[in-house]
Amino acid sequence: MTLDHEAIYKAYPNVVRIGAASRGPHDVIKPWDKDEKEVTLVQSDVDAARTTLDSDYAKIKYKDDRAAEYPDWGTQLDYIYHNGIDKWKTDIVDPVKTKYPKPS
């Protein structure tokens, strides 16, 4: 089973930690509930949770893409000072928003 921690926490809200459980000569990573009881995982539940998480992220990914594309604040403020807000919008903001549109 793949230990996708984020998907496990999504699929099993009762899991409070994922850590080592001693199994003979090797430690095995297992999920635990608040009472320190092992939680049995079903891979299809974890996979479904991963699909939901990926879908949710796809809806907001444009924000991360835009943030990475914009120049730092100092550069933008300097641009506004020298060129004005309208030029800043058309030269810096609008191209990034066009490149990474908000999903409908």
Burial string for 43-74 (b: 16+ CB within 10 Å, else e) reads: eeebeebbeebeeeeeeeebeeebeeeeeeee
Domain boundaries, the chain: 1-56, 70-104
Burial string for 5-39 (b: 16+ CB within 10 Å, else e) reads: eebbbbbbeebeebeeeeeeeeeeebbbeeeeeee
* Per-residue pLDDT at 23: 67
pTM, two decimal places: 0.67
User: What element of type H or E holds 69?
Assistant: helix 43-69
Which tops the pLDDT comparison, 85 or 25? 85
Confidence check: pLDDT of 16 > 90? yes
Confidence check: pLDDT of 29 > 90? no
Residue-wise pLDDT tens digits, 32-83:
999 999 999 999 999 999 999 999 999 999 999 999 999 999 999 999 999 9
* Per-residue pLDDT at 45: 95
